[in-house]
Amino acid sequence: MAVGFVDCHCHITAQEFSQDIEEIIEKSQKDGLQALVCVTEFSEEFERLIHLSERFPDFLMPCLGIHPIQRDAQGLRSVTVQDLEPVLTMFDEYKDQMVAVGEIGLDFTPWLAPTQEQREEQLKVFQMQLDIAKRLDLPVNVHSRSAGKQTVAVLKEQGVRKALLHNFAGRPSVAMEGVHAGYFFSFPPAVIKNDQRSKLIKQIPLENICLETDSPALGPKKQERNVPSNICIPCDYIASVKGLRPDQVREVTTSNALRLFPKVYHKLKR
């Protein structure tokens, strides 16, 4: 039997999927996906994702986490500890369903987190969630925009062993630090539009690469909604960059995903 894809990072509870989620999931399964590793960004998504995963228990694999960038009535802003505090008890409440803690991390985009105080607060929120992951013995699904070096350094300092750095755009030297620490890196369909990313993909061993869509964002066309079925796009791109067949990339990245997320492996084996 052919090995299916694992989408290691998508946002299935995003508003963009609210009207046709059943069709999206059905098409994903038809298009060869074995599992969707689904992340949250905001506290209001936690219960929504858990309830959705209960409807599709062998396909939607929930990760709970608070993203370093939050939104309010004024727009996007840097996260604070107050954003995390209301959901702290939920990590324990849903620990059996969760396959990872995420999406968590650092985002030092200058116009979103311009001050040192904001960045230190982000770091505190990140470390609190890393502590939760370690206590629950779960991997982490990590965001690292404009903060690749700092993110890898924190993961290593905190003794994190299982981490996925999604849509990583840092320097190859920083990525290799992560490789040596045993971390994995995933790339979405939008990677096909970024020549710089090909240099990164060439250097990172296939044994440290996973596939993701980050849907509904980061699709092949900026103006169109991205969907999990687009997982074949980064697969084909990575294959072309590394001079491999797409089926080789699919098999190895799926094997990587199941090593990274042991609970996904056990759910699929049931």
Q: Could you tell me the end-to-end alpha-carbon distance of the chain, in angstroms, rounded to an integer?
A: 17
Asked if residue 11 belongs to a known ligand binding site, the reply is: yes
Asked if residue 214 belongs to a known ligand binding site, the reply is: yes
Q: Which helix (H) or strand (E) holds 7?
A: strand 5-10
User: Within a 10 A sphere around the Cβ of 29, how many other Cβ atoms?
Assistant: 17
Asked if residue 180 belongs to a known ligand binding site, the reply is: no
DSSP state of 67: -
Coil vs helix vs strand at 143: strand
Q: How far apart are alpha carbons 137 and 132 in whole angstroms?
A: 8
Asked if residue 9 belongs to a known ligand binding site, the reply is: yes
Q: Of the candidates 148, 152, 142, which has an alpha carbon nearest to the alpha carbon of residue 37?
A: 142
Angle at which helices 195-203 and 232-242 cross, to 10°? 70
Q: Which residues of 198-214 are buried (b: 16+ CB within 10 A; e: fewer)?
A: bebbeebebebbbbbbb
Contact at 8 Å (CB) between 8 and 257?
A: yes
Q: Which helix (H) or strand (E) holds 53?
A: helix 46-55
Q: Of the candidates 186, 178, 181, which has an alpha carbon nearest to the alpha carbon of residue 210?
A: 186
What are the residues whose beta carbons fall under 8 Å from the beta carbon of 42, sequence distance 6 or more? Answer: 66, 67, 70, 71
Asked if residue 67 belongs to a known ligand binding site, the reply is: no
Instruction: Please report, in range form, the residues annotated as the binding site for a divalent metal cation.
Output: 9, 11, 103, 143, 166, 214
Instruction: Please report, in range form, the residues annotated as the binding site.
Output: 9, 11, 103, 143, 166, 214
